[in-house]
Structure formats: structure tokens, C-alpha cells
Amino acid sequence: MTELLVAEGLELAYGEIPACRGITFHVDQGEIVTLIGANGAGKSTTLRAIAGALIPRAGMIRFRGQDITRLPSYERTRLGIALVPEGRRVFPFLTARENLELGAFKYRNDKPKVSTLLDKIFAMFPRLSERSSQNAGTLSGGEQQMLALGRAMMSEPYLLCLDEPSLGLAPMVVQDIFRTIRSINAAGTTVLLVEQNARYALETASRGYVLQTGSIIASGPCAKLKDDERVREAYLGGGAKKLFVS
Ligand SMILES: Nc1ncnc2c1ncn2[C@@H]1O[C@H](COP(=O)(O)OP(=O)(O)O)[C@@H](O)[C@H]1O
Ligand SMILES: [Mg+2]
């Protein structure tokens, strides 16, 4: 498999407060890889470092063969990394269409390109097409998540980074979101998926890493991680059995 993203020995901190250390993982082209872990484990912090919102104190990030450790986030967008942040962060007073157009910022001087991309996204999310002229703030949680996904896809990323896409959504909607993630991946986009919802994450991804208090404590194929006692104990604690019942 061709290497797309490599993170090696990342040390991440907020000012003087350390958050993650020794973070080493990789994502190959075409994969869905998941980072799972309890609240506060360091998942968002790790994604921020990949997307360029937080520059590591130490360690290295390589994307498509290039050292991007210290590149600002807009440069990473240009290179093909897109982040759907925790909580979606759509612009509530802009329409769905305007939100999508902002995602194509790197093509801002190419109107036909943006229009083609919009058509593509509307075909993928018919619901967004129906609501294209509605303010994003009036959309349901699930629709806003779809909008955030669509906005990220407007930059035609090689790597789509998702931070807790299922957070706060009803189970039916969650299934929809994960189905969409799988189809985006099947169409050729590599996915790095951060989730607290271990069950869905491990069913959706092929490989995973388990974070606990700022370190990776386990990794491997998802089929194996599901049965890993350390994963159940460290990450899922007492609720483990419940989460895995379908
Ligand atoms: N903006 C911030 N400033 C200071 N500490 C933070 C900030 N964001 C997160 N942290 C701390 O970093 C650690 C990892 O948090 P985070 O990456 O958000 O975890 P997760 O996404 O797995 O829930 C936690 O101890 C959290 O309190
Ligand atoms: Mg988080």
C-alpha cells in the first residue's frame, strides 16, 4: 500500500500543558483508519496537529512524501487535507450552498470548477440540494453534519479527517453518516476517523489506534481491536459490553 500520511513521535501541548506524547501512526492511501479513545484522550488534539491547527513541539508529520510538520493549515488544505471539526462548525447565517462554496476556497478563481463540485456534492447529498438556499443554522443536526462533510469534500481532499461525526446525532442518523463516510471512501478518498463511538468506528474502519491519556496504547486491524481486552478495559471501561451489543 502507498503511504499517504505518517505521524512520528508527536508531542502535543497547549502552552505549557502537555496533551499527547509519542504519537506514531500512519494512514495508507485508500484506507479508513480510526483513532478511538475516551473523552479527553487526545483524539481532537492529534487531528488538530494533522490539520495544522496545532504545531507539534516535537515529532514529524509527512503527507504524500512531504514534511508538513510546520505548514500552516491553509497550505495543508491546498495539499489535500480536509478537516471536519468536532461540532461541525457550519456558518449558521450562510446558506447551505454558501457553506459549500467556502469549502472550495482553493478553487475560488475557477467558477466552473466550483459549479461542477457543487453538482457532485448535491448528487451525493440530495437533501442538501433540496435545502441549498436555507440558512445552515436551520438544518437538523444530521443535515449540518452532511453539510460539514460536503464542505470538506468541496476541496477534493486526498485525506478527509473527521472529528466525532456521530456526536449528538440520533442512531438512525448516525447510520446514515457512516454509510456516507464509507461511500466517500469507496469513491477514492482516504479517511482518518476520530470517534468516541467505538462500535461504529471499528465497523467502518479497517485499522485503528486506541488513545488513552495522550498515548497510543493499542493498534491493529479493527476486527482484532474489537476483541482486545485492553481496548475494552482501557477505553470502554465498565460500559464495554453494552457498546458492543448490536
Ligand atoms: N484548548 C485547550 N487548551 C488546553 N487544554 C486542552 C485544550 N483542548 C484540549 N485540551 C486538553 O488536552 C487533552 C486532550 O483533549 P482532546 O484532544 O480534546 O481529547 P478528545 O478529543 O480525545 O476528547 C485533555 O486533557 C484536554 O483537557
Ligand atoms: Mg475531541
CA of 209 to the centre of ligand 2 (A): 15
Q: Is residue 141 part of a domain?
A: no
Q: How far apart are CA 161 and CA 76, in angstroms?
A: 12
The set of protein residues with a Cβ atom below 6 angstroms from ligand 1 is 14, 17, 19, 37, 39-45
C-alpha cell at 62: 509527512
Which residue matches cell numbers 476517523? Answer: 193
pLDDT band with cut points at 50, 70 and 90 for residue 234: low
Q: Is residue 94 part of a domain?
A: no
Q: How far apart are CA 37 and CA 42, in angstroms?
A: 8
Q: Is residue 142 part of a domain?
A: no
Q: For residue 242, what pLDDT is reported?
A: 43
Which bound ligand lies closest to the C-alpha atom of 211?
A: 1
Q: Is 80 exceeded by the pLDDT of residue 243?
A: no
Q: How many domains does the chain have?
A: 1
Q: Is residue 201 part of a domain?
A: yes
Residue 37 CA, closest ligand 1 atom number: 22
| pLDDT, tens digit, 9 for 90 and up, residues 55-90 | 999 999 999 999 999 999 999 999 999 999 988 888
Q: Is residue 187 part of a domain?
A: yes
Q: Is residue 138 part of a domain?
A: no
Residue among 20, 21, 36, 44 whose CB has most ligand 1 atoms within 8 A, to mutate: 44
CA of 186 to the centre of ligand 2 (A): 26
CA of 214 to the centre of ligand 2 (A): 12
Looking up residue 218, the CATH number of its domain turns out to be 3.40.50.300
| pLDDT, tens digit, 9 for 90 and up, residues 154-181 | 999 999 999 999 998 988 899 989 999 9
Residue range 21-38: mean pLDDT, rounded: 96
* Percentage above 90 pLDDT, the chain: 74
Q: What is the mean pLDDT of the chain?
A: 90
| DSSP bridge pairs for 81 | 159
Question: In sequence order, what E strands does 85-224 have?
Answer: 159-163, 190-195, 207-212, 215-221
Q: Is residue 191 part of a domain?
A: yes
Q: Is residue 105 part of a domain?
A: no
pTM comes to 0.92
The residues, any chain, with a CB within 8 Å of residue 214's CB and separated by 6 or more, are: 12, 18, 19, 20, 21, 41, 42, 45
CA of 113 to the centre of ligand 2 (A): 33
Q: Which domain holds residue 45?
A: 3-89+155-244
